[in-house]
Structure 1
Amino acid sequence: MQDYYSTLTGWMIPISRVMAAHGIDIAKALKECDISQDVMTDQESRIAAENLSQLLEYCNKALGRHDFSVLVAEQFHPGMFHALGYAMMSSNTLYDALERIAHYKRVVSNTCQLFNHERNEHLIFEMDVFTYESTNRPILSQATVETFLATIIRFARELVTVEFAPLKVCFSYPRPNHDMAYLTDFFKCEVEFDSSQTSIIFDLKQTQERLLCGNPLITHSHEKMLDEFMARVDKNDLSHTIKTKIFELLPLGAPSQTEIAEDLGMSLRNLQRKLNNQGTSYKEILESTRKKLAMNYIVQKHLSLSEIGYLVGFSSVGNFNRAFKRWTAQTPGDYRHSSNI
């Protein structure tokens, strides 16, 4: 079961850079932590989460300190998150980027759930780490969680400003015995341990500010890659397989549930039953996919409203207008005008 929980090998990009900079023998470290040398060349393979945690601990011991997590974060590269990193980098706002990593987090790892909550004037980016059933021990070590949250903040500084800081960072883990000043220095805010949740608390308004690097066309291209990748990562996730098929077929008109079932080699009843077991339906998947595409296309000035309607599978502008108003309470034209697009 420990091998079932894994993370993307993209983490080796910043980890290997830090190891090399501090004279840590990479080949020896990988062997000690039972990690294949192939992880250095195959960016779509996976590392068992347990082995990654061992590697971080190995590096802390080799350095004789505890701050390897923030050293890794400082070496952030979008490629460490596969296409997700590039989709995040081209997001319109930090809020959008955090939503993307929560939605596509299985590309990076299957060891946790990520949630974004709005509370008062705050955006709470929560990390719910899974535990092993037999021992109730968290799958991710404290150092691994530190590395991930520090990377999120380093990423935010790439998007917003190098001086960007969250309001607070919380860890559900007990406070370690060693000095934790390196985390306070890195996050530039209060760091709390023994918290009820592991999370980063942001100023909501700051996360919603439009970014200069926003590029919906690039983001959309990478999201199509991500949906295909997620279908490969978890072949049992039928909803993502269906979403990928819908992406392909929408310009020809919205595919029916029967067409999708036939394309997947399944009976209609079997398709409906499996989707019901996943807590969804074909209608919900089609609706959410159309909405997602439409919101990506609407900010692309070179596309007319009729073209967008066609691209998301509507046979007439009127039908597209009614659907868009159902999603946003505005017509496509009014939405473009109010958003200064």
Structure 2
Amino acid sequence: MQDYYSTLIGWMIPISRAMEAHQIDLTTALKECNISQDVMTDQESRIAAEKFYNLIEYCNKKLGRHDFSILIAEQFHPGMFHALGYAMMSSNTLQDALDRIAHYKRVVSNTCQLVTYESNNQLVFEMNIFTYEGTNRPVLSLATVETFLATIIRFARELVTLDFSPEKICFAYQKPAHDVTYLEEFFNCDIEFNSDKNAIIFNFEQAQEKLMCGNPLITHSHEKMLDEFMARIDKNDLSHVIKNKIFDLLPLGAPSQIVIAEDLGMSLRNLQRKLQEQGTSYKEILESTRKKLAMDYIVQQHLSLSEIGYLVGFSSVGNFNRAFKRWTNQTPGEYRQSKKT
């Protein structure tokens, strides 16, 4: 079960850079931590979460420090998150980027759930970490959580401004015996241990500000790659396979369940049963896919509203307008105008 929980090998990009910067031999480290060098040649391969933690601890011991998590984050590169990193870099707002990593988090790791939500005029980015059966021990160590949250903040500084700081960092772990000044200096905000959650707390208004690097066209192209990637890493997730089929067919009109079932070599009843087992339905997948595409397209001023309706599979502007108002309580024109301000 320990090998079941894994993370994308892309993390080795900043790890190897941090090791090189501090004269830690990569080959020796991988051997000591029982990590095959072969994984380094395939950027879609995974590394067990336990081995990832062992590698961080190995480097901490080599340096006689406890801050290797921060050293990794400081070597941030968008490629470490596969296409997700580039999709985040082209997001319209910081919240868009955080929502995107929460949605596609399985690309990066299967060790936790990520959620974003508003609370008291703050945006909360929370990690709900899975535990091992039997022992109830968290799959991720404190050092690993430090690494991930610090990387998210390093990411935010690339998107917003280099001196960006969150309002608070929460760790659902006991405060370690060693000095944690390195966390305070890096995050530049309040650090709370023994919290009820692992989370980053952002100022909500700041997270809503438009980013100079926002580019919906680039984001959309990377999201299609991500959906295909997720289908490959989790072939049992039928909903993502169906979503990819819908993406391809929508410009020709919304495909029916029967068309999708035939395309997948399944009977309609079998398709419906499998989706029901996953807690969803074809109608829900079609609706969420259309909505997601429409929200991406609506901010692209060069596309007319009728073109967007066509691209997301509606046969008439009226049908598109009614669906969009159901999603947002605004007409497409009203929504587009609100985004200009």
Same fold, TM-score > 0.5, yes or no: yes
CA distance in 2 between counterparts of 1:126 and 1:276 reads 28
Q: Which residue of 1 aligns with 2:109?
A: 109
SS of 1:244's equivalent in the other structure is helix
Residue type of the partner of 1:111? T
Q: Deviations over 1:151-206 (max 9, x none)?
A: 00000000111111111101001111100000000000011111111111111111
Mapped pair 1:275 → 2:275: yes
SS of 1:236's equivalent in the other structure is coil
CA distance in 1 between counterparts of 2:88 and 2:22 reads 29
1:39 is displaced (CA, Å) by 2.7
SS of 1:126's equivalent in the other structure is strand
Q: Which residue of 2 aligns with 1:159?
A: 159
SS of 1:185's equivalent in the other structure is helix
Structure 1 portions without partners, runs of 5+? none
CA distance in 1 between counterparts of 2:271 and 2:305 reads 33
1:338 is displaced (CA, Å) by 2.2
CA distance in 1 between counterparts of 2:299 and 2:167 reads 30
CA distance in 1 between counterparts of 2:226 and 2:287 reads 19
1:279 is displaced (CA, Å) by 1.2
Residue type of the partner of 2:277? N
CA distance in 1 between counterparts of 2:299 and 2:115 reads 25
Q: Is the 8 A contact 1:12 1:39 kept in 2?
A: no
Q: Which residue of 2 aligns with 1:204?
A: 204
1:218 is displaced (CA, Å) by 0.3
1:38 is displaced (CA, Å) by 2.0
CA distance in 2 between counterparts of 1:260 and 1:50 reads 39
Q: Which residue of 1 aligns with 2:287?
A: 287
Following superposition, which runs of at least 4 residues in structure 1 exceed 3 angstroms of deviation? none
Q: Which residue of 1 aligns with 2:57?
A: 57
SS of 1:91's equivalent in the other structure is coil
Q: Is the 8 A contact 1:111 1:129 kept in 2?
A: yes
CA distance in 2 between counterparts of 1:15 and 1:270 reads 45
1:274 is displaced (CA, Å) by 1.3
CA distance in 1 between counterparts of 2:266 and 2:58 reads 48
Which runs of structure 2 are paired with 1:324-339 in the superposition (5 Å)? 324-339=324-339
Residue type of the partner of 2:88? M
Q: Which residue of 1 aligns with 2:178?
A: 178
After TM superposition, the structure 1 stretch with the greater mean CA deviation from structure 2, 9-18 or 266-275, is: 266-275
CA distance in 2 between counterparts of 1:327 and 1:113 reads 25
Q: Which residue of 2 aligns with 1:168?
A: 168
Which runs of structure 2 are paired with 1:1-341 in the superposition (5 Å)? 1-340=1-340
Q: Deviations over 1:8-28 (max 9, x none)?
A: 000000000010111111001
1:40 is displaced (CA, Å) by 2.3
SS of 2:217's equivalent in the other structure is helix
1:111 is displaced (CA, Å) by 0.3
RMSD: 0.9
Residue type of the partner of 1:238? L
TM-score by length of 1: 0.98
Residue type of the partner of 1:51? K
